[in-house]
Amino acid sequence: MRALGPGSVSSFLKVILDVFHIVLWISAAGVSVAIVGVLLLSFEPKLLGSHLTLDKLRIEGPWLGPIAAATLLAADLYLAGAIVIVDRLRRIFQTLIAGDPFHPDNVRRLRVIGGALAVLELGRYAVAAIAQMIFHGRLHVGGGVSLTTWFAVLVIVVLAEIFREGARLRREAELTI
Number of domains forming the structure of the chain = 1
Backbone angles phi and psi of 67, in degrees to 5: -70, -40
Q: Could you list the residue range(s) of the whole structural domain that residue 152 is in? A: 9-175
Please, is 113 exposed, middle or buried when counting C-beta atoms within 10 Å of its C-beta (0-12, 13-18, 19+)? buried
In a domain, 3, yes or no: no
**CA dist., res. 32 & res. 72, Å (int):** 8
Residue type at 9? V
Dist CA 44 CA 59 (whole Å): 16
CA distance 176 to 171: 9
Q: Would you write out the chain's pLDDT as a tens digit for each of its 177 residues? A: 787 888 889 999 999 999 999 999 999 999 999 999 888 887 776 766 666 665 555 666 666 778 778 888 989 999 999 999 999 999 999 999 998 888 989 999 999 999 999 999 999 888 888 877 876 666 666 667 889 999 999 999 999 999 999 888 888 888 886
**How many Å apart are CA 56 and CA 169, to the nearest integer?**
58
Pairing of strands 57-60, 51-54: antiparallel
Residue 64 within any structural domain of the chain: yes
Q: What is the pTM of this model?
A: 0.83
Structural domain contains residue 2: no
Q: Does 4 fall in a domain? A: no
- Residue 70 domain flag: yes
